Structure 1
């Protein structure tokens, strides 16, 4: 059977779900296909917490922050589901440029204040500070486990078709559209579409490579490095401590290349902490999900040094993936009938609704993405 569609979104993680939501809001016919089931833990969009860290100074990212704070509120109001806990975010350390960040955020109407180490330590005694701290009260923790179903349910309510357990086993690109071979429990199906939105996370390069030999030759994107990241939830040792989200930039001399560190409280699970983007390179189809011993030992050492509010000996290891570009900027672009959203480099989740909007813009020809996200950069 050959089915003709308007837009197929390939990959039902955060960005694909947001793209389906944004396209459905514009009245577009959209079909979202995801190779795994709802709430799977094989990619990058699972778990109950992600920091919404406003600590940017680059103009394009700051503009996206201003938009996304409004969009998360809009999603909460429309769905009736709480998606953002505004605990605030504190950033500190010698590898951080707080003055630039505070100035950029202030110009966008996003709050930021400086605190001395002693004052910050009094407010948040579970964290040790040794220099000036930038507190951003508009930040906090997002809940992916709640957000992905919200995007998909709101999209479906506007007519989107959401198909889990549906794998793209062949992908061909032509001048006037795409042809996909889909495999599911119901068998194999060939569909054609005017366009495809590729939001396949760690599988992006594999998917684009499968289209080799036709017009996909023009779909060159920055190299994507897929890593298995290994944060952990540490048991809370100080029940009276208040926990904001935090990002610490201790500099290159601390634990060698283990820098920076992010963290937050995950209700019922403890204090999540992890290195940023230093996990081993993996094939997303062949992962062991096991923590790398040296990195885990260094993370425990970090907890002993900088997180007095946790028990560094009591923890639960976590496994997820990063898909990272060389410059850690995203890929948001259109090449012929293919829109690509990839390379979110461990800091994309906070921007999910805006990324959905940008991908919908690209799919509908409304406007281009900022130039820093071009595939050809």
Structure 2
């Protein structure tokens, strides 16, 4: 087997697989390396489901989500397995956030409806409301069956000739005329190396004297066994849990019922843990939220999972180039939904196009700033 490629992608999560798929479609010779193996429980791109929504406060993400839905549907058709379960989403919470979401969705050509208290109750009968409460609803939202989506992307890249090395840890990246990537088992080389290694990205980049304000975090999700909820819309609460834009999000999960989680993570991520045990104090806090907001919501827990995500100071991703190295990182808790639409963002930078201003590594909202593991998903 040749050890020389056009592009080496470090990380076989959603960013890495989507990038490999797009590069292969552009006739590049691609290798992907993953420390634990694609979809492993220690990684960010693990688990049964992720939410998907076009409800964003910036048109860039609305357009990206609309593109992602189209691309997920194409993967469904190619593989013959359901990936999307779209039941809509209700957003509630800070009035200013809701107004920004509605404006951005409409600017990007999406459809979103405003709800009064009665409308909120019609969409979410479990939700307690008061006179004057408002919210939003849009239909192009719901659930990505993430394990199925990852399997579909993996099958696509392997079918397109991408070489996948897993589980295999990268030891060093050595820039040169051709950049060398050294693993525990082999030495590979390529003109460009994409670092899409999730919470491990910061340490890898630091070996190249590239320092990004990334904060790995541990997030927890709770799956409620309630089949009667699988056709309910997802939820997004903005600003309901204290400072910033923290709150709760959730969506239906076919075959289980419903998934709920806080939009904030916790300190404590370390690189060599291969599975994270549930935090039952956080589960108790989630049930306390249900007591306040949806007191008659089912409480039978089927599964609690913890996994990492990686925050940036502004909640936006980083997709940019430093010499032969392309950064694809800082998912900030909201990247998975975009799935196959992430690939073209990275592949364009690999091809020499300038990074999108919102994703540049030197944007003002990153320079001189720090991220914290407990920052809320702000997008």
Match of 2:78 in 1: 78
Cα distance, 1:70–1:235 mapped onto 2, change above 3 Å: closer
Q: Which moved more, 1:224-233 or 1:288-297?
A: 288-297
Q: Tell me, in whole angstroms, the C-alpha distance in 1 between the residues paired with 2:245 and 2:285.
A: 8
Instruction: In structure 2, list runs of 5 or more residues that go unmatched.
Output: 364-379
| DSSP-derived class of the 2:203 partner | helix
1:306-339, CA deviations, whole angstroms, 9 ceiling, x for partnerless residues? 2345333645321111110111110100111111
Of 224, 243, 247, 2:232 maps to 243
| DSSP-derived class of the 2:334 partner | coil
Contact 2:230 2:257 in 1 (8 A): no
Q: What TM-score do you get using the length of structure 2 for normalisation?
A: 0.88
Q: Tell me, in whole angstroms, the C-alpha distance in 2 between the residues paired with 1:316 and 1:147.
A: 20
1:71-108, CA deviations, whole angstroms, 9 ceiling, x for partnerless residues? 22222233333211111111011365223322321232
Match of 2:366 in 1: none
| DSSP-derived class of the 1:111 partner | coil
Contact 1:300 1:313 in 2 (8 A): no
Q: Tell me, in whole angstroms, the C-alpha distance in 1 between the residues paired with 2:120 and 2:58.
A: 26
Q: Tell me, in whole angstroms, the C-alpha distance in 2 between the residues paired with 1:278 and 1:121.
A: 29
Q: Tell me, in whole angstroms, the C-alpha distance in 2 between the residues paired with 1:281 and 1:86.
A: 34
Contact 2:24 2:160 in 1 (8 A): yes
Matched, 1:196 2:197: no
Cα distance, 1:16–1:245 mapped onto 2, change above 3 Å: same
Matched, 1:119 2:119: yes
Cα distance, 1:305–1:287 mapped onto 2, change above 3 Å: farther
Kindly tell me the number of residue pairs found equivalent between the two proteins.
361
Q: Cα RMSD over matched residues?
A: 2.4
Cα distance, 1:155–1:293 mapped onto 2, change above 3 Å: closer
Q: Tell me, in whole angstroms, the C-alpha distance in 2 between the residues paired with 1:65 and 1:142.
A: 12
Q: Tell me, in whole angstroms, the C-alpha distance in 2 between the residues paired with 1:57 and 1:35.
A: 34
Contact 2:72 2:83 in 1 (8 A): yes
Matched, 1:63 2:63: yes
Q: CA deviation at 1:29?
A: 0.5
Instruction: In structure 1, list runs of 5 or more residues that go unmatched.
Output: none
Match of 1:269 in 2: 256
Matched, 1:300 2:297: no
Contact 2:46 2:146 in 1 (8 A): yes
Q: CA deviation at 1:259?
A: 2.6
Q: Tell me, in whole angstroms, the C-alpha distance in 2 between the residues paired with 1:193 and 1:6.
A: 5
